[in-house]
Amino acid sequence: MIGLFQISRRLLLPLFAFGVGYDVDTNLLDTLTQDHHGLSTYVQPGQKLDEVISAFYESISTPVLTDLSLDFGELSTYDIYPNPLPDLFSGSQVVVVGRYHQGGSQTVILKGNVNSAPQVLSFPAQDFSADSRTGSDTLASLPRLWATRKVGYLLNKIRLQGPDQETIDQLVKLSIRYGIVTPYTSYLVTEPMPLGLENQQRVAQDAYNQALATPQSFSGKSAVDQAAGAGAMSQAQQAPAIPAPVSGGSAAVQTVQVIGPRTFVLSSDTWIDTAYDPQTMQPVKVAFLSAEYFKLAESGPGLAAAFALGDQVIVLANGKAYQVVNDDTTVSPTVISPGLPTAVGSTEIPVGPAPGPVFPSTPVSTAQPDPFAQPAPWTPLAWTGLLVAVAAAAILTLRRRK
């Protein structure tokens, strides 16, 4: 059963599709909704259709601002999700996450329509930190939220357009870097996480070969589950929980931990930062509970929490890889330089030259420069999350104008 809803207000009508049960064409529904700036909702057997439709209608019954676009001024942004921006409805918010270079003070302009009348809202002197990774817990969670949405976008791209090597390469790297399990990397929960570019390329090649050998189905339970899962990730309001512990003898063993923007995996009793590449990086050894250990823990945000994982940890910080070893290991004195920016977005997530501004006209494209390619030199990277502030300010301003 298929239900299609159109909200008439412009030449290109937004379309919202409902797939009820498993006997639906997920390719058709998702292609239609993507081409018409809408969303697909899949109603599983056992769910009450009337409740789903009522909740949907209630959420879109009172539009506040439609045809949204954001202008970040001279700020060079890319990988913005969601793209295109959805409409803003009363009682809801639009959460936008993405990446930008450099930072600075910019005027953010939000454009949209109210009853077909153009509206322009300006937010002057918005501060975009040159290194916002060092901020609050909310900022620390943004990288995984951004990665979750991009993973959802890539999964949808593979489903609708077929697999290609570049897309699966990005999917595998994001999955490993941020501990996000996908149908192509689900085995990472039970097997040692591959670290280093060479191993990641091997995993990506195996995933690509598997995708080519697996017949693609657009209907049935598996297809509906994949479509619903990818759609939920692309629209996620928060990053998914870390994978559940795996069985290790008589007790479950947690093998993945997320500390702020960093992801660690347990391998041979050592917690290893997934941004660490053993083929290209030589870690500096630091004795557990030594003077250098405490100095390093205070040299950057999140390092103390990372060291709390155990007495054997490999972490990237201050542009270097450090390996904390236990008391039984003899370690030469280490020079620690506190106050340097942590390498969450440099060594761990190096970026190439940024493309032009994303909004309002540039669509999301995987043809952008590979964000995991090695840069020369390091380009400062920061994260932006435009949360409730833009939506709330827009609603208040519009109410004052009525």
The model's pLDDT over 56-94, given as tens digits with 9 standing for 90+, comes to: 888 887 888 888 889 998 888 888 998 888 888 888 888
228 and 145: one domain? Answer: yes
Nearest Cα to Cα of residue 386 among 15, 64, 38, 68: 68
Split at pLDDT 50, 70, 90, the class of 382 is very low
The domain tally of the chain equals 3
Q: pLDDT by residue (tens digit) across 231-289?
A: 888 888 888 877 666 555 445 567 788 887 788 888 888 999 988 888 888 999 999 98
170 and 145: one domain? Answer: yes
Nearest Cα to Cα of residue 288 among 310, 266, 257, 315: 310
Q: Give the pLDDT confidence score for residue 331 in this predicted structure.
A: 55
257 and 305: one domain? Answer: yes
For tokens 């910019």, the residue is: 106
Judge whether 70 and 122 are in contact, CB under 8 Å: no
For strands 284-287 and 320-325, give the pairing.
Answer: parallel
- For the cut 90, the answer to whether the pLDDT of residue 116 exceeds it is no
Q: Is residue 99 part of a domain?
A: no
- For the residues 217-223, what does the mean pLDDT come to? 88
> Would you call 390 helix, strand, or coil by DSSP?
helix
**What is the spatial distance between Cα 170 and Cα 245, in angstroms, rounded to a whole number?**
25
**What is the spatial distance between Cα 163 and Cα 150, in angstroms, rounded to a whole number?**
16
- For the residues 103-109, what does the mean pLDDT come to? 88
Nearest Cα to Cα of residue 321 among 259, 275, 271, 288: 275
Q: Is residue 213 part of a domain?
A: yes
- For the residues 2-8, what does the mean pLDDT come to? 47
- Name the residue range of residue 227's domain: 137-234
160-166 — which CB contacts under 8 Å span 24+ positions?
160/27, 160/30, 160/31, 160/34, 162/216, 163/208, 163/211, 163/212, 164/208, 165/204, 165/205, 165/208, 166/366
Given 325, 351, 383, the domain boundary residue is 325
- For the cut 50, the answer to whether the pLDDT of residue 396 exceeds it is no
- For the cut 50, the answer to whether the pLDDT of residue 364 exceeds it is no
Measured in whole angstroms, the distance separating CA 225 from the mean position of its chain's CA atoms is 20
Q: Is residue 391 part of a domain?
A: no
pTM for this structure? Answer: 0.73
**What is the spatial distance between Cα 118 and Cα 224, in angstroms, rounded to a whole number?**
38
Given 39, 61, 83, the domain boundary residue is 61
Given 234, 258, 283, the domain boundary residue is 234
152 and 224: one domain? Answer: yes
146 and 209: one domain? Answer: yes
Q: Give the pLDDT confidence score for residue 381 in this predicted structure.
A: 34
Least confident interval from 17-21, 258-262, 360-364, 384-388 = 360-364
Q: Is residue 98 part of a domain?
A: no
- For the residues 315-327, what does the mean pLDDT come to? 85
Q: Is residue 254 part of a domain?
A: yes
Q: Give the pLDDT confidence score for residue 246 in this predicted structure.
A: 58
Split at pLDDT 50, 70, 90, the class of 148 is very high
Q: Is residue 84 part of a domain?
A: no
224 and 269: one domain? Answer: no
**What is the spatial distance between Cα 144 and Cα 313, in angstroms, rounded to a whole number?**
21
Q: Is residue 47 part of a domain?
A: yes
Give, in degrees to the nearest 5, the angle at Cα 65 between 59 and 68.
110
User: For residue 267, which phi and psi values (nearest 5 degrees)?
Assistant: -140, 120
264 and 189: one domain? Answer: no
Q: pLDDT by residue (tens digit) across 152-206?
A: 999 999 988 888 999 999 998 898 888 888 888 776 666 666 677 888 888 888 8
147 and 220: one domain? Answer: yes
198 and 230: one domain? Answer: yes
Q: Residues 272, 275, 279, 280: is their CA dihedral positive or negative?
A: negative
165 and 251: one domain? Answer: no
> Would you call 124 helix, strand, or coil by DSSP?
strand
Mean pLDDT score of the chain: 74
Question: Burial, 84: exposed, middle or buried (Cβ in 10 Å; 0-12, 13-18, 19+)?
Answer: middle
200 and 284: one domain? Answer: no
Q: Is residue 228 part of a domain?
A: yes
- Residue 112 corresponds to which amino acid? G
251 and 226: one domain? Answer: no
